[in-house]
C-alpha cells in the first residue's frame, strides 16, 4: 500500500494524516472504503473519499471538520456526514454497519456492525477493500475477499450468491464497472446476474434507486457502451416495455457525444448542463411525450429534470422542419430556441446533420441568445407610455429589430419605440 499512498496528491495525504490523529485520539478505528482503495490501486486521478468508522461516524466527522476548519452536513438518520471542503474533493464519513435484506429487492435492514460486516454488504470484491487509516501504510490494505487479485485479473465478482437478488441495482452497477474498466464479469457472477434478470427483479426495485444508477451509467465516459451492454444482457423493460433501442438510438448517442464536445469546446463559460440528461432524453426519443413524461415521473426525476425531459420530448418533426428552413429569420429561430434548455438544444443539434439546421442553432447560441436591449421599461415610462402589457409587445418588437440588425444602439432603439407608439 505504501507505494500507492505515497503517490496521492498532497491535500489528500494531509487529510489522511488529520484523520489518523482523530482516529487515535477518539480511539475509533477508521478506514477508507468503497471506490477509494480500488482507484488507489488502479492509479485513478479523481478522488472521492469514503471513510467508515468503527464507533460514531458523525462524532468523528465533527472532530475532523474542526481540524480542517470546514463545513459539515450531518445525516443523523443514517449516522453519516459529509465534509464541505469548498473544492472538488468530497469526503463522506459513515459508521460501519451491516445490512440484511428481508426479501428479494427489498430495502435493507441496517444495524451497527464491524468492519467485516460493512465490507460484506458491498457489491463486488473490487469495491469491498479497505485502507486502514489508523495502521501504518505497509499493513494498511484490508482485502478479505480478494479484491486486489480481481482488480489485477480484470474481474467483477459478487461477494455471495444472493447478491443480485438482495439488490438488483447491482446488475446495473456490474455493467457500469465492467464497461468502465473493460473488465469481465466472472462466470459464476454472470450466472447469478442472468438469473436475477430472468426473474425480472429490476422491476421490483424502488424506482428512485433505479434512477440513481441510470444517472451514474449515463455519467460514464461512454454511455453508448453502457446502453449496448444493458440491452444485450437484459433489455430496458424495467424502465418501459416500449423501450427497445436499436441502431437509430445508438446513432443518436454517437451524435450526442459529438455535440456535447462541440458545445463544451465552443461555450466553455456557459452554465453547466447535465450531459447524462441529454443521453437519457435521447433514449426516450422514440417515445411519445406522454410516455416520456410517465417514465420521468415514475423514476422520480426532480421537477427541473422532468421539465427538461419534457422539452426534449416536445421536439417534433414540425419543429425540426422549421429550423431547417433556409429562409428562417433570426427572430423565428430565437422564438423557437429560447424556451429550450441547453440539454434540449444539444439533443436537438444531435438529431439532424442538415447544415442549415446546425447553423441556425449555432447562430442562436453565439449571437442571438446573449443579445440584450439597451432600453427597458423605465425608458418607455420616460417616453410617457402608460405601463401595461403593451410594454412587453413594444420591447419584443425592438428585440426583433435588434436580432435583424435593424437597430444597433440605444438611440436607434429609442427612435424605433417612438415610431411604434406613433
Q: Whose Cβ is closer to ligand ATP: residue 48's or residue 195's? A: 48
Q: Whose Cβ is closer to ligand ATP: residue 59's or residue 98's? A: 98
Minimum gap (Å) between residue 119 Cβ and ligand ATP: 8
Residue 167 near residue 259 (C-beta atoms within 8 A): no
Q: What is the dihedral of CA 203, 282, 219, 304, to 10 degrees?
A: -80
Minimum gap (Å) between residue 25 Cβ and ligand ATP: 27
**Residues 7-26 as x/- pattern, contact with ligand ATP by CB under 6 A:** --------------------
Q: Whose Cβ is closer to ligand ATP: residue 48's or residue 251's? A: 48
Residue 185 near residue 124 (C-beta atoms within 8 A): no
**172 to 211, contacts with ligand ATP by CB under 6 A?**
173
- Under the binding rule (CB under 6 A), the answer on residue 122 touching ligand ATP is yes
- Of 14-22, 81-89, 122-130, 243-251, the window that binds ligand ATP (rule: CB under 6 A) is 122-130
Q: Whose Cβ is closer to ligand ATP: residue 50's or residue 305's? A: 50
- Under the binding rule (CB under 6 A), the answer on residue 161 touching ligand ATP is no
Strand pairing category for 130-132 and 109-112: unpaired
- Set of cell numbers at residue 298: 415514475
Q: Whose Cβ is closer to ligand ATP: residue 32's or residue 346's? A: 32
C-alpha count within 13 angstroms, C-beta hemisphere, residue 171: 35
Strand pairing category for 30-32 and 130-132: antiparallel
Nearest to 260 by CA among 248, 278, 281: 278
- Under the binding rule (CB under 6 A), the answer on residue 169 touching ligand ATP is yes
Q: Where does residue 146 fall: left (phi above 0), alpha (psi -120 to 50 degrees), or beta otherwise?
A: left
- Set of cell numbers at residue 250: 445508438
Minimum gap (Å) between residue 48 Cβ and ligand ATP: 6
Q: Whose Cβ is closer to ligand ATP: residue 154's or residue 377's? A: 154
- Set of cell numbers at residue 150: 480481481
Q: Whose Cβ is closer to ligand ATP: residue 123's or residue 150's? A: 123
Tally of CB atoms within 10 A around 89 = 16
Tell me which of 54, 118, 123, 343 binds ligand ATP, using CB under 6 A: 123
Nearest to 113 by CA among 57, 197, 192, 178: 57
- Of 162-170, 261-269, 286-294, 321-329, the window that binds ligand ATP (rule: CB under 6 A) is 162-170
With both helix axes pointing from N to C terminus, report the angle between 247-266 and 223-233 in degrees, rounded to the nearest 10: 160
- Under the binding rule (CB under 6 A), the answer on residue 155 touching ligand ATP is no
Q: DSSP characters for 250-282?
A: HHHHHHHHHHHHHHHHH-TTSPP--HHHHHHHH
Three-state secondary-structure class, residue 43 = coil
- Set of cell numbers at residue 225: 457502451
Q: DSSP characters for 356-376?
A: HHHHHHHHIIIIITT---S--
- Residue 82 φ then ψ, to 5°: -125, 130
- Of 81-89, 166-174, 223-231, 313-321, the window that binds ligand ATP (rule: CB under 6 A) is 166-174
Residue 186 near residue 216 (C-beta atoms within 8 A): no
Residue number closest to ligand ATP, CB atom = 35
Tell me which of 11, 42, 48, 153 binds ligand ATP, using CB under 6 A: 48
- Set of cell numbers at residue 127: 469495491
Q: Whose Cβ is closer to ligand ATP: residue 158's or residue 394's? A: 158
- Of 20-28, 119-127, 199-207, 254-262, the window that binds ligand ATP (rule: CB under 6 A) is 119-127
**Residues 50-89 as x/- pattern, contact with ligand ATP by CB under 6 A:** x---------------------------------------
Minimum gap (Å) between residue 152 Cβ and ligand ATP: 18
- Under the binding rule (CB under 6 A), the answer on residue 34 touching ligand ATP is yes
Minimum gap (Å) between residue 236 Cβ and ligand ATP: 19
Q: How far apart are CA 398 and CA 415, in angstroms?
A: 10
Q: How far apart are CA 174 and CA 184, in angstroms?
A: 10
Tell me which of 155, 170, 211, 360 binds ligand ATP, using CB under 6 A: 170
Tell me which of 54, 167, 343, 413 binds ligand ATP, using CB under 6 A: 167
- Would you tell me which residues interact with ligand ATP (CB under 6 A)? 34-35, 48, 50, 122-123, 127-128, 167, 169-170, 173
Amino acid at each position: 500500500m505504501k507505494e500507492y499512498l505515497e503517490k496521492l496528491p498532497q491535500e489528500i495525504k494531509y487529510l489522511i494524516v488529520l484523520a489518523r490523529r482523530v482516529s487515535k485520539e477518539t480511539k475509533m478505528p477508521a478506514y477508507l472504503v468503497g471506490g477509494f482503495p480500488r482507484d488507489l490501486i488502479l492509479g485513478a486521478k479523481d478522488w472521492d473519499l469514503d471513510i467508515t468508522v468503527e464507533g460514531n461516524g458523525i462524532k468523528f466527522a465533527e472532530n475532523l471538520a474542526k481540524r480542517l476548519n470546514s463545513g459539515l452536513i450531518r445525516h443523523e438518520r443514517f449516522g453519516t456526514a459529509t465534509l464541505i471542503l469548498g473544492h472538488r474533493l468530497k469526503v463522506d464519513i459513515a459508521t460501519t454497519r451491516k445490512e440484511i435484506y428481508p426479501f428479494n429487492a427489498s430495502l435493507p435492514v441496517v444495524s451497527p456492525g464491524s468492519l467485516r460486516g460493512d465490507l460484506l454488504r458491498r457489491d463486488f470484491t473490487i469495491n469491498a477493500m479497505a485502507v486502514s487509516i489508523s495502521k501504518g501504510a505497509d499493513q494498511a490494505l484490508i482485502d478479505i475477499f480478494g479484491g486486489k487479485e480481481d482488480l489485477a485479473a480484470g474481474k467483477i465478482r459478487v461477494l455471495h450468491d444472493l447478491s443480485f437478488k438482495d439488490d438488483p441495482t447491482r446488475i446495473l452497477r456490474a455493467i457500469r464497472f465492467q464497461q468502465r474498466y473493460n473488465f469481465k464479469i466472472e462466470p459464476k457472477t454472470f450466472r447469478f446476474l442472468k438469473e436475477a434478470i430472468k426473474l425480472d427483479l429490476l422491476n421490483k426495485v424502488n424506482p428512485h434507486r433505479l434512477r440513481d444508477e441510470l444517472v451514474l451509467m449515463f455519467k460514464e465516459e461512454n454511455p453508448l457502451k453502457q446502453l449496448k451492454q444493458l440491452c444485450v444482457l437484459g433489455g430496458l423493460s424495467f424502465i418501459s416495455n416500449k423501450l427497445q433501442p436499436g441502431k437509430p438510438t445508438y446513432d443518436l448517442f454517437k451524435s450526442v457525444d459529438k455535440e456535447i464536445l462541440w458545445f463544451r469546446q465552443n461555450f466553455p463559460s456557459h452554465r453547466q448542463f447535465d450531459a447524462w440528461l441529454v443521453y437519457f432524453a435521447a433514449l426516450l426519443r422514440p417515445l411519445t411525450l406522454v410516455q416520456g413524461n410517465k417514465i420521468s415521473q415514475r423514476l422520480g426525476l426532480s421537477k427541473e429534470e422532468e421539465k427538461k425531459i419534457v422539452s426534449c420530448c416536445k421536439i417534433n418533426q414540425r419543429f425540426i422542419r422549421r429550423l431547417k428552413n433556409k429562409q428562417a429569420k433570426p427572430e423565428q429561430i430565437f422564438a423557437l430556441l429560447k424556451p429550450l434548455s441547453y440539454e434540449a438544444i444539444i439533443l436537438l443539434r444531435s438529431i439532424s446533420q442538415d447544415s442549415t439546421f446546425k447553423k441556425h442553432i449555432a447562430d442562436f447560441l453565439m449571437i442571438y441568445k446573449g443579445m440584450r436591449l439597451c432600453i427597458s421599461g423605465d425608458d418607455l415610462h420616460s417616453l410617457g407610455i402608460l405601463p401595461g402589457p403593451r410594454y412587453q409587445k413594444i420591447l419584443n418588437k425592438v428585440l426583433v429589430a435588434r436580432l435583424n440588425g435593424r437597430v444597433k444602439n440605444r438611440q436607434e432603439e429609442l427612435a424605433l419605440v417612438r415610431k411604434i407608439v406613433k
